[in-house]
Chains A and B, each alone.
Chain A
Amino acid sequence: MRYKLMVVAIFVGLSILLAGCRWSQETDDVAFITAIGVDKAEGEKIKVTFQVVIPRAVSSLQGIGQEIQGGPTMISSIVAPNITEARNLLATSMSRTPNLSHVQALLIGEEVARSGTGDIVSSIMRFREYRGGMFMVVVRGKSEDFLTSTKPKLELLPSKFFEAFGKSSEQVGYYLRVEVHDLYLRLKNPGGSAYATYVGINPLTGEDTPLDTKMPNDKAKGYLPKDIPRAGTENPTEFAGTVVFNGDKMVGAIDTSETRILAMLHNDLPRGVFTLDDPLEPQHEVSLNMRNGSSPKIDVDLIDGREVIKINVFLEGEITGIPSGINYEKPEYRELLEAAISDVVTQEIQGLIRHTQELGSDVVGFGYELRSHFATYRELRETNLAELYKTASVDVKVTTKLRRTGLMWKTSPYALTATSE
């Protein structure tokens, strides 16, 4: 019995010693990288920018220890033939071993995105330290500038900045949370085109430069990053719109309004405020908080070699503002409003599809619904779904039901005013 206990004790002791302690690393021997940016450099090389966390600076911000100038992160840019070599070279400039297991975001400069992201993404999916849940982002400009300009005032932890942005994408639908895993699936599997979040650095001049994609009756304008009219002291970087790919190359971008429609078609719109012309008094606007009432019904058929798409969207909404004072809570007026919002959303869906057909990018993923039309997987693989999408015909039907009216159930008209002489 004693012999058996001794053997067990030896094994337990050995297992502690042999569990990799020989090659263990303390947390203060490791440099944690929270974001990686990739830009084009001269020749065939790339410039890789690493955002490295300074743990002592994070503690000082929390009131522990001495204050460190420059903020909780440091930026290091390295020119190398690929991302792996860049990491190796980074280690030569730091006293700690770079660790990539906490990278929250992969940022690709627009120039690199337009020339092809396949090489970068495939090497990322292979290396064990990277995780597929990293935020996948394309920068309008250079990712090095984006990382250098990112100075969030609301977030203490640099890693939380990207994580929180990913979470808050659900609040408005003006940008989507796209992970590297999602992009990689779309690059490899037949059915839909890849897309990524679009970001940029706002000049903070307050200048209004919307895109010309505004729909009739829709008061809201569509923006791309850098174009939102804002000024102030907050972080200049912004997330707006979506980059669309054809294969692994960026071919264009859809703005904030179109991105919201994309979220809606993906049944991923928990909340989105639409502002449209008041149906009875067009000089005023009405704002409605809309969301998917049910999963959009998308039927895709192949008729005479042509893709035919039927979209049926059901939206539920809440009235959030009626400046005109008209009692839209009344059933007959409410129906007018429902018809108006349905009309706006129908046009926006058609606009999104037209735009993406021109770009040859099926970001909605209509091709996935076409998979059941193929007898075998080989047949599916050999069909060019992206080409089929370009000539697809679309029929859209939107139904809206306004369920809630905010804190008011009946709008009273404004008091009579004196006539001016």
Chain B
Amino acid sequence: MSYQPGKMGVAAGTAIVFTTTFTSFFLSVWSVFTDQAATAAWLVPSINAVCFLSLFWIVLYVMQRVPGDLYEVAERLLGKTGARLITLYFITTFFIDAVLTLRQFAENTLLTAIPSLDISLVAGWYVLIASFYVYLGIEPIARAAYIVLPVGLTALTLLLLGLYTKFHLYNLRPWLGDGLGVLLKSGVPSSGFYLHTFILAILAPAFQNLRTIRTAALLGIGLTTIFRTLTLIMYMGIFSVEVGREKVLPFYEMARLIYLSRYLQRVEAFYIILWVILGLATIAIDLYMANYLLTRLFNLQSMRPLILPLAIIAAQLALIPADIATAIELNVKADTIYFAAGVLVVPVVLLMANLIKGKRKAKSCATN
């Protein structure tokens, strides 16, 4: 069937996880964390990672005992209805993420580079390119993301180093912000930002074995967490809380501050290229996953006829929020409520079903 994801390894898996989880950092997420957690915002990515990994490990544990990808595991443990509900949930999460990411990236392109352009043109063009990536398949996207990964990480590191003169450690004090309670209230729900790691479980047959998935997840989340934490430390150290919570484009604002000499300034144009590449890859991965799961759900022969219609629908929905502030708020609510619910509920439900089924099987074996 034409929607087979191909063959991928640790590198591709890491690239998928890193690209989809880190790209939101080019948007307004940092301002939201700063607003919620104050000076302790830099601890939020670590809390996200710990919460998410402990739940994702449950999924991997279940997949170890029940072979197959996430859909097949859900089907075996929860039945066809349960599997379909979970699949439907993930279709909506990937699609919502594609729509909101598309809208924010389109707005940010207008804000940073081409202010006179019409937003529908930008959104339409981005979604067209993303559709082309989807048409090529997840494997080429993952491999391309893997090639861009070291360039992106190097650029990010240089950005952080280039801003050392503007960094002040006192801006990070008091260390716990508004207290541990507020920090956890901000950190635990926002582990929904790591939901895309479930792609590894959904595309499990594409990876060699569970160990590959585990390694890719650890590396991807590890890299994202390290860089998110470092960039947040730098951001807080430069802008502190009151100014930090105001920014629509924290990453871009940081890049604009780089001034190393008369000849090494105004480097933000390079970073715009970087986040457009990663943003398009994220939108493409989201659209691919939505397409892939729809095809699995309805047992279709091919996903290609769905690519363009889904892309057009995504572009139309992306233009619905009235303004950028609404789009940002929707994105935060989606990540911290809807996505976080899936991160918490799906692993627990699968584990419980696995334990119950395991007990029943043991009982029936004992009776026999």
Contacts and interface: CB of A to CB of B under 8 A. Distances in A.
24 contacts: A11-B129, A11-B132, A15-B125, A18-B121, A18-B125, A19-B114, A20-B113, A23-B117, A128-B111, A128-B112, A133-B259, A184-B243, A185-B239, A189-B241, A191-B170, A368-B170, A371-B173, A375-B174, A375-B179, A376-B174, A376-B176, A376-B177, A377-B174, A378-B178
Interface residues of A, number: 31
Interface string B257-291: 10100100100000000000000000000000000
A18 B114 CA distance: 11
A372 B173 contact: yes
B48 interface: no
A129 B129 CA distance: 29
A163 interface: yes
B178 A132 contact: no
Nearest to B112: A128
A377 B241 CA distance: 9
Contacts of A378: 38, 178
Interface string A180-216: 0100110011110000000000000000000000000
Nearest to A160: B262
Contacts of A15: 125, 129
- Main DSSP-derived SS at the A contact region: helix
Given A18-B121, A376-B177, A128 B115 contact: yes
Given A371-B170, A371-B173, A372-B174, A377 B256 contact: no
Given A11-B132, A18-B121, A368-B170, A185 B176 contact: no
Interface in B285-311: none
Interface residues of B, number: 34
Residue among B115, B121, B132, B173 with most chain A CB within 10 A: B173
Given A7-B132, A15-B129, 17 more contacts: A19-B114, A20-B113, A23-B117, A132-B256, A133-B257, A163-B262, A184-B243, A188-B243, A189-B242, A189-B243, A190-B242, A371-B173, A372-B173, A372-B175, A374-B173, A376-B176, A377-B178
A295 B259 CA distance: 22
B46 interface: no
A362 B34 CA distance: 25
Interface string B83-121: 000000000000000000000000000011111110001
Interface of B: 38-39, 111-117, 121, 125, 129, 132, 168, 170-171, 173-179, 239-243, 253, 256-257, 259, 262, 265
Contacts of B168: 368
B176 A23 contact: no
A369 interface: yes
A11 B111 CA distance: 24
Contacts of A163: 262
Contacts of A140: none
Interface string A364-387: 000011011011111110000000
Contacts of A377: 38-39, 174, 177-178, 241
Contact of A20 (B116, B239, B240, B243): B116
Contacts of A181: 257
